[in-house]
Amino acid sequence: MKSIYNIYILIAIFVFLILFSSKAVNAQEYYEVKVGNGDGILSILRKYQLLDFSCNLDKFLEINNLKRESDLKLGKNYKLPLLIYKYNDISIRSTIDIKDLDAAIRIRDYNYTLLDKNLVKRKFEKSRELLVPYSEMNCRKNRETDSKVTTEKSATTEKGTEDTIKPEKENKKQKDSIINVQYFKQPKGNGLNRYVPLFGSKWATVPLEDNRLENRVFYILTGHGGPDPGAICTDSEPMLCEDEYAYDVSLRLARNLMQHGATVHVIVQDHNDGIRDERYLPCDNDEVTLDGIKIPISQKKRLKQRTNDVNNLYSFYNKKKNVKSQTLIEVHVDSRHSDQRIDVFFSYPKGSKPSEKLANNMQKTFAKKYSQHQSDRGYGGTSGQQNFYVINNSLPTAILVELANIKNSRDHERILNSFNRQALANWMFEAILDTYN
């Protein structure tokens, strides 16, 4: 009898060990990564393709005891919302105890993508380390309604070292501040004109030509402004200020977009300038935010302010089912040595395929236009990844445009001539239409 009892004890111990070992095989930990130069919360999540679900961002903050406005410390390890499972050499479904074949395929492909991007060194079948996004196990069911997060950026000028930003809570005032647009019946044509005082008296009436960009939202942002004129050229008489010329092109682009049914927000505004046809645009410092708030002197506060404006609006529109896309276009004029001519070039944040596509389309459009207009030297403008603060920390698809070298006398004609400023806006607009139609 005693021997039978001992056998039962041994069997119980054996079963316990099997269960324990099985549980140990599937023990879950969070995958850790070390922060490198330029890495911020959004950039590091985007690198690992974890920005499709906002719960990944929330989990990242939770497991690292961070707030959304927290900075990541260079060289420190942080946990990603990536669960580590010890692969059982049988199947993904049996490894993580799921029945969904589609989910297993997504997880397999995700691990292969990490391998292709050199973010892991070996196939999970060999390393026996299977990585599963937190969202895959916890928030896939909310796929249709979950807020999609995308993008980030860096600061030393307006374009420069990662300093991650949290979008602030929605501001109702911002929701209602769609460029102070008024509508009135158009006597003939297809129905409605838009009246936008921000464009100035000559250009305030915006005829609605068609609705090709209906339900698409654009954020048009001029670099600098307020206490910061940006790049300047003192060799010219009068002095040239970057923000004035970038602002004029930005307004022209905003007007083009509105003519085709887009919803447009101009993030930095000057209510007494508007679209101007003068050759020389006086420098001033009275630009404000789209809510009429003063632009701070501090560069860091200034960049956070405009990024938060964009992200708050993005979050508001992201809840609307009919919104097809949201896009940020940041416009600058560069500053190089006075002997260096540059062509219009475009930057996009690393890891954002939609931003890359738009920037590349812009570059191709400009190359085509230069060819058509028989430029004396061809076109050398580029499209490439850059770690710039606003576009990297903004949630919409985002690109940054550099129009010219403000210190080069031959580049001046591109921005001083109002016909050329309109051409710049028109060409960018054509690239947008090509991208979204």
Q: Are both 99 and 197 inside the same structural domain?
A: no
Give the range among 35-44, 79-88, 137-146, 253-262 with minimum mean pLDDT: 137-146
Residue 291: CA count within 13 A, CB half-sphere: 17
Q: Where are the alpha helices (DSSP H) in 238-395?
A: 242-258, 299-318, 353-372, 389-393
- How many domains does the chain fold into? 2
Q: Are both 120 and 199 inside the same structural domain?
A: no
CA dist 376 to 237, 333, 416, Å? Answer: 26, 22, 19
Element (H, E) at 289: strand 288-289
CB 358 within 8 A of CB 430: no
With cut-offs at 50, 70 and 90, classify the pLDDT of residue 138: confident
- Beta-strand pair 232-233/240-241: antiparallel
With cut-offs at 50, 70 and 90, classify the pLDDT of residue 182: low
* Residue 156: predicted pLDDT: 35
CB 230 within 8 A of CB 224: yes
115, two tokens? 């391998």
Q: Where are the alpha helices (DSSP H) in 191-267?
A: 242-258
* Residue 68: predicted pLDDT: 74
CB 251 within 8 A of CB 218: no
Is 404 among the domain residues? yes
Element (H, E) at 135: helix 134-138
Average pLDDT along the chain: 83
**Cα Rg of the chain, angstroms:** 26
Q: Examine the pLDDT at 428 and tell me if it is beyond 60.
A: yes
CATH number, domain at 216? 3.40.630.40
What's the whole-number mean pLDDT along residues 169-182? 45
With cut-offs at 50, 70 and 90, classify the pLDDT of residue 280: very high
Q: Are both 196 and 98 inside the same structural domain?
A: no
With cut-offs at 50, 70 and 90, classify the pLDDT of residue 158: low
* Residue 362: predicted pLDDT: 97
Q: Give the torsion sign (CA, 43, 49, 54, 55).
A: negative
Give the range among 20-34, 82-96, 141-155 with minimum mean pLDDT: 141-155
106-127 confidence digits (pLDDT tens): 999 899 889 988 899 999 999 9
1-49 confidence digits (pLDDT tens): 556 656 555 555 554 444 444 333 454 689 999 988 767 787 788 888 8
Q: Examine the pLDDT at 70 and tell me if it is beyond 90.
A: no
Is 366 among the domain residues? yes
Q: Where are the alpha helices (DSSP H) in 319-402?
A: 353-372, 389-393
Q: Are both 206 and 79 inside the same structural domain?
A: no
b/e string for 254-282 if b means 16 or more Cβ within 10 A? bbbbbbbbbbbbbbbbbeebbbbeeeebe
Measured CA to CA, the distance from residue 328 to residue 134 in angstroms comes to 29
Higher pLDDT, 375 or 143: 375
What's the whole-number mean pLDDT along residues 173-196? 54
Identity of the amino acid at 350: K
What's the whole-number mean pLDDT along residues 44-67? 86
Is 166 among the domain residues? no
Is 333 among the domain residues? yes
Contacts of 217 (CB under 8 A, 6+ apart): 262, 263, 264, 265, 313, 314, 317, 323, 325, 326, 327, 396
What's the whole-number mean pLDDT along residues 38-63? 83
Q: Are both 107 and 198 inside the same structural domain?
A: no
214-248 confidence digits (pLDDT tens): 999 999 999 999 999 999 998 888 999 999 999 99
Higher pLDDT, 27 or 61: 61
Measured CA to CA, the distance from residue 138 to residue 288 in angstroms comes to 42
Measured CA to CA, the distance from residue 310 to residue 327 in angstroms comes to 10
What's the whole-number mean pLDDT along residues 151-159? 39
Higher pLDDT, 178 or 431: 431
Is 164 among the domain residues? no
Q: Are both 49 and 135 inside the same structural domain?
A: yes
| Sole residue written with tokens 């903004």 | 394
Is 147 among the domain residues? no
CA dist 118 to 47, 93, 113, 205, 356, Å? Answer: 11, 25, 9, 53, 20
Of residues 274, 267, 287, the one with CA closest to residue 225 = 287
Measured CA to CA, the distance from residue 76 to residue 275 in angstroms comes to 48
What's the whole-number mean pLDDT along residues 336-343? 92
Q: Are both 202 and 102 inside the same structural domain?
A: no
Q: Are both 417 and 271 inside the same structural domain?
A: yes
Give the range among 177-181, 206-210, 379-383 with minimum mean pLDDT: 177-181
With cut-offs at 50, 70 and 90, classify the pLDDT of residue 376: low
Higher pLDDT, 419 or 12: 419
Bond from prior residue into 238 cis (ω within 30 degrees of 0): yes
* Residue 76: predicted pLDDT: 93
Measured CA to CA, the distance from residue 289 to residue 227 in angstroms comes to 12
CB 291 within 8 A of CB 284: no
Q: Are both 40 and 181 inside the same structural domain?
A: no
State in Å, rounded, how far the first CA of the chain is from the last one.
Answer: 83
Boundary of a domain, candidates 87, 121, 142 = 142
145, two tokens? 């309604």
Is 162 among the domain residues? no
Q: Are both 180 and 113 inside the same structural domain?
A: no
b/e string for 123-143 if b means 16 or more Cβ within 10 A? ebeeeebbbbbbbbeebbeee
Q: Are both 89 and 176 inside the same structural domain?
A: no
| Sole residue written with tokens 């919104």 | 323
* DSSP for residue 167: P
Q: Examine the pLDDT at 149 and tell me if it is beyond 60.
A: no
Q: Are both 186 and 247 inside the same structural domain?
A: yes
Measured CA to CA, the distance from residue 60 to residue 237 in angstroms comes to 53
What's the whole-number mean pLDDT along residues 155-184? 44
Q: Examine the pLDDT at 252 and tell me if it is beyond 50.
A: yes
- For the chain, the maximum distance between any two Cα atoms, rounded to a whole number of angstroms, is 109
Q: Examine the pLDDT at 174 and tell me if it is beyond 90.
A: no
State CA 275 to chain mean position distance. 27
81, two tokens? 């919302």
* Residue 159: predicted pLDDT: 56
Is 149 among the domain residues? no
* Residue 291: predicted pLDDT: 85
* Residue 26: predicted pLDDT: 52
Structural domain for 225, as ranges? 172-436
